[in-house]
Chain A
Amino acid sequence: MKLENIQDKVNSTFFKEHQKKLYQSLEDKHTTIEELDDGDPLTSKMVLNMGPQHPATHGVLRLVLQLDGETIEKTKVDIGYLHRGVEKIAENKTYQEFMPYTDRMDYLSPYSNNVALCTAVEKIASVEVPERAHYIRMIGCELARISSHLLWLGTMVMDAGAISFFIWTFKEREKIYDVMDQIAGHRFTVSHARIGGVANDLTDEATGSIREFIEKFPKELKDYHKLLDRNRIFIERNEAVGVLKTEDAIGIGATGPVLRASGYKMDVRKLNPYARYDQVEFDIPTRMEGDNLARYFVRMEEMSESIRIIKQCLDKLPKGPIRTDNAKQAYPSKDEVYYSMEGMIHDFMMTDTGICPPEGAEVYHAVESPKGELGYYIQSDGTGHPWRLKINAPSFTNLQVLENMLDGEMVADTVVIIGGVDPVLGEADK
């Protein structure tokens, strides 16, 4: 089909240049291989715009699909509808001030993002983090991972046609929000980590509710497994759908559960352990099939590994300070701020200037967020603001995989495959 006149047909009224180039690039994709069919006598070809406002696209993701009947011939993904320019904002903020913005990047697991920023800043400014803070961060990160995977599970199963499941996973997420409330004082955008430690210690109440959660959650997880593992409708919707081979996955740069479901065992927690992940025992779930069902199993198993990690963290949780006791590197505790002059001055200085890494220093530090490798590159110019801060976002990387994975699939499977890749547009669009 010749799509030259698609511009006239769609008659776009907005961002005309953008639409024109997008349709042109769709037309150009794979043109080196094909250009066999001239006519389309049955008129079975069409261009389908999916999104950006579409409930199954998990945010403001826009897909432009060229269909031949029910088969997707080629796809272009258009992102950027949620672009806020956080990297530019970061250059105009102190490191600590930037943290609330990271909450809103991958808004399904804010805790991991906070930790990713903090670990990078701590590495560049050589800040020592107390042992207890490391364990609290690990607990937070793993709770965030469970929360993120629960949302993925609910929406992905809903994409496959089961609505009630969504409500059940949200019941569990609600409990995690309550736990987060007790840990950090916020339910959703927690901002709990601080450069040099965490904001506040775990209270007995919080520890109790974490214990209660990890006690009860494995039973729920077992129920999910019971409902889905051998569910014929679910398997037929997911098996051999969106297959990604190992070498393709590595070449296109897939990360996180998508890469692991394609048979490559890569996890930053093992590759380059940060916090105290080298002190706890856990496995990295891996599957060989590379289809959507494999991604389901990988994420389900990751949740029980997270429970295992939290359990070990709670047992090992050492006593001691939760933030480094160096007023040039971290905020002093509130006790100091309210009752001593120096504490007050330091608090003011931390807010006003913040931590200043050495001039010209560069650092890259990655953590394993629920979506994959989340890395922060920071270049310092010696002031309290970064000269350049780059976020290596796993959702962005995985969306590129999606663009290549959808070619040749059925249009009805699109939403299931998007669900399987689990992108968060807040992170991908920066």
Chain B
Amino acid sequence: MSLELSEPLQKTVDSLSENFSDKFIEVYQSSGDTFIRVESDALLEICKHLKEELHYVYLSDIFGIDRYTSEERFEVVYNLLSLRTTARFFLKVRCEEENPELESVTKIWPAASWNEREVYDMFGVKFRNHPDMRRIFLPEDFQYYPLRKEFPLLGIPGSIELPNTTPDRE
């Protein structure tokens, strides 16, 4: 598939493939958006490079995707925006189904903190060196990761303690 990259995005791709040639997996476009996939073990260096050399200073969002039944089941996507060139692209990393873990990028972009907690809450992907690794929407007492594909839409009965409707009685 031929790529139609804008000038700043071409520069980003070139710079990444040059500096991290063995960590760079693929670049592709879909519906006009650009996605770059890299090895997860080089995530921190690549992010540092992106912020300091290529001016991707604004982290818009982080989210997870469940690639159910595929190898390397979980995918985490970083939505990055360069304020200098207004270029936007998506950095993707994948991790294993068993104990999915990634390096936290909160040191590079403080904005990542809550988004990483959301990924943890929904998919169970843990982030190493995160300052506050807790669930964000669901209470800590909840033991499942609801956006995983095997979690039923109706929920699991009894998985969460419900308020006592008759508070006066013991």
Chain A residues close to B by CB (< 8 Å): 14-18, 20-22, 25, 28-29, 79-80, 83, 85, 87-89, 92, 123-124, 126, 250-253, 255, 264, 266, 271-272, 360-364, 366, 373, 375, 377, 379, 387-388, 390, 392, 396-397, 399-400, 404, 429-430
Instruction: Give 15 pairs: A residue, B residue, CB < 8 Å, sorted on A.
Output: A29-B132, A80-B135, A83-B137, A87-B122, A126-B31, A251-B109, A252-B111, A255-B60, A272-B86, A361-B31, A379-B65, A390-B61, A392-B60, A400-B114, A404-B110
Known contacts A18-B141, A250-B57, A400-B114; 14 additional CB pairs below 8 A are A29-B132, A80-B135, A87-B147, A123-B31, A252-B110, A266-B83, A362-B35, A373-B60, A375-B79, A377-B61, A377-B63, A392-B61, A397-B111, A429-B137
Contact residues in B for A387 (Cβ distance below 8 Å): 65
C-alpha gap A373/B88 in the complex (Å): 13
* Cβ of B138 under 8 Å from chain A: yes
A253–B111 touching, CB < 8 Å: yes
Residue in A80, A89, A364 whose beta carbon sits within 8 Å of that of B137 in the complex: A80
**What are the 10 closest A-B residue pairs judged by CB atoms, nearest first?**
A253-B111, A80-B137, A18-B139, A363-B31, A83-B137, A18-B140, A15-B139, A17-B140, A392-B61, A390-B63
B134–A85 touching, CB < 8 Å: no
C-alpha gap A399/B113 in the complex (Å): 12
Minimum CB–CB distance for A34 against chain B, Å? 15
* Cβ of B161 under 8 Å from chain A: yes
Contact residues in B for A18 (Cβ distance below 8 Å): 135, 139-141
C-alpha gap A364/B114 in the complex (Å): 20
Minimum CB–CB distance for B100 against chain A, Å? 16
B79–A80 touching, CB < 8 Å: no
B147–A79 touching, CB < 8 Å: no
Minimum CB–CB distance for B137 against chain A, Å? 4
C-alpha gap A28/B161 in the complex (Å): 27
Known contacts A14-B163, A363-B33; A253 and B79 CB within 8 A of each other: no
* Cβ of B32 under 8 Å from chain A: yes
Which interface class (under 10, 10 to 19, 20 to 34, 35 or more) fits B?
35 or more
C-alpha gap A41/B50 in the complex (Å): 49
Minimum CB–CB distance for B43 against chain A, Å? 18
* Cβ of B8 under 8 Å from chain A: no
C-alpha gap A375/B163 in the complex (Å): 35
Minimum CB–CB distance for A129 against chain B, Å? 15
C-alpha gap A397/B115 in the complex (Å): 8
Minimum CB–CB distance for B32 against chain A, Å? 7
Contact residues in A for B151 (Cβ distance below 8 Å): 88
